[in-house]
Amino acid sequence: MAYKSVEDLKKHRVFYNFLEISKIPRQTFFEKEVSDFILNWAKNLGLEVHQDKKNNLLIRKPASSGYENKKPIVIQAHIDMVCEKRPEVDHDFRKDPIKLVLEGDILSTGNRTTLGADDGIGVAMAMAVLEDKNLKHPPVDVILTTAEEEDMSGALNIDKSWFNTNRLINIDHVVDNEIIAGSCGGIGVDLKFPVEYTKKTDNYKGYQIKISGLRGGHSGEDIHKGRANANVLLANLLNLLREKINFLISDLKGGNFRLAIPREAHVTVALEEKDVETLKDIMKNFESEAKKIYEETVIDLKIEVSAENLAENLLSKNTVDKIIDAIILSPNGVSSMIGSLNVVESSCNLGEVYIKDNHIYLVTEIRATFDKNRDYIYNKIALIGKYLGGELRAFSVYPSWVYKAHSNLRDTANKVYSEMFGENIKTLAVHAGLECGCFVDKIQGDMDAISIGPNAWDLHSPDERLSVSSTEKVYKFLTKILENLD
């Protein structure tokens, strides 16, 4: 069906629901309002609903006529979203609704902010199943979780009593002709070390160097696509500069979130006036080379310099060297592959660099299917801390979801897809964290799970986009799976 406007999308219940929740802020750890909205919505439908202290929701829908004796199925999605915006965009994710733009088949925000289809569209599909009295299905338990985009603490803290079945459909994938049957685990790591200061002198002038125009993206699903990391680019530029001129640093900031590939970074340097032209020449050459290297993956790479006021206290030469060394030495990007599946096995993303409370922080997300490889990367970062006098902290650990050779649910989904669309659906493991891994020890018996979802691109960035027709396709697929379950 063709839609002429965002308002026109309301004709389809999935999009109606998505538009409704897009009016409500749902930043990670601030999901109470949207959780309460869905809670009351479910109560008004007369459904059994539970909300826990993490604002997770369990909504139970009885089986349709003739399906009462079939085993229940869980449909699961997360209600929080990554909040990223362009620097020039005025948007408060704590109070402002997401402004949607429809261009042909593509729903986006016009490249202003993240769209929140990750995973709002999964939530909207689950809501559509709950409200449709004409669907054929076994008992349906919808579980909507919080904090997926930060530490998965919502899923990790769900009470085991919420599960009365061992089969689950997660709606958090982004390719409509694929079934995900495994995902990596992950861990957040911050490396910090104390900074030393020196007084500003009159012979120093301040200049801000800013890197922008990178594509960014999801730190797992996009990590193999060769996209530039703004933090790494900035450190490499500073490394070249220190070979030619003397400078100190007044301020430094790169990236906003460890789960997003950094699109922007800036540093304010203090240097003598005589070195300004050398600075500009090195920057110009570096920008030219970077554009060649990342030609296919950048939007509009820019490295700009402008006059900037300096703080009274500047980072010492020793601290500046430590910062540059730490970033350059930090592992970033793909670490290992699973050759038989042609999928990334382990990786890391240096998502944030910033100064706070007299310390420099480097924040990294490590992803791996196997714990040993996760620990291998962690130990690399630990060695950087050891030799540079830093402290390491691990946080937000979540488990992997190991691929199973046989799955009844997967077999049903494969059969349904083939009958509906005349082709076989692809089955694979994905290099991203999915909550299925968190439920392994909560579901009675062996978990039988799949993850599906509509075509979407550039998650965790303001370029996030969703296909309308693909969303319709996947919703039909979902309802047919429910109809055909044993």
Per the CB < 8 A criterion, the answer to whether 28 and 147 are in contact is: yes
Q: Which two tokens stand for residue 305?
A: 């310099």
Task: In whole angstroms, give the CA distance from residue 11 to residue 20.
Answer: 13
Count Cβ atoms below 10 Å from residue 444 Cβ, excluding itself.
Answer: 10
Phi, psi of 427 (to 5 degrees): -120, 130
Strand, helix or coil for residue 267: strand
Count Cβ atoms below 10 Å from residue 341 Cβ, excluding itself.
Answer: 16
DSSP for 314-363, please give it.
Answer: EE-HHHHHHHHHHHHHS--EEEEEETTTTEEEEEEEEEEEEEETTEEEEE
List CB contacts of 425: < 8 A, sequence separation 6 or more.
Answer: 177, 178, 179, 413, 414, 417, 418
Closest to 377 measured CA to CA, from 333, 325, 339, 331: 331
Q: Which two tokens stand for residue 299?
A: 């939007």
Q: What proportions of the chain, in percent to the nearest 5, are helix, strand and coil?
A: 30, 30, 40
Task: In whole angstroms, give the CA distance from residue 276 to residue 283.
Answer: 11
Query: One-letter amino acid identity for 347?
Result: S
202 in catalytic set: no
Determine the angle formed by the axes of helices 13-22 and 468-484, rounding to 10 degrees. 120
Catalytic residue from among 31, 80, 264, 308: 80
80 in catalytic set: yes
- The residues that bridge with 450 in the sheet, in sequence order, are 169
Catalytic residue from among 118, 119, 148, 464: 148
Please give the positions annotated as active site: 80, 148
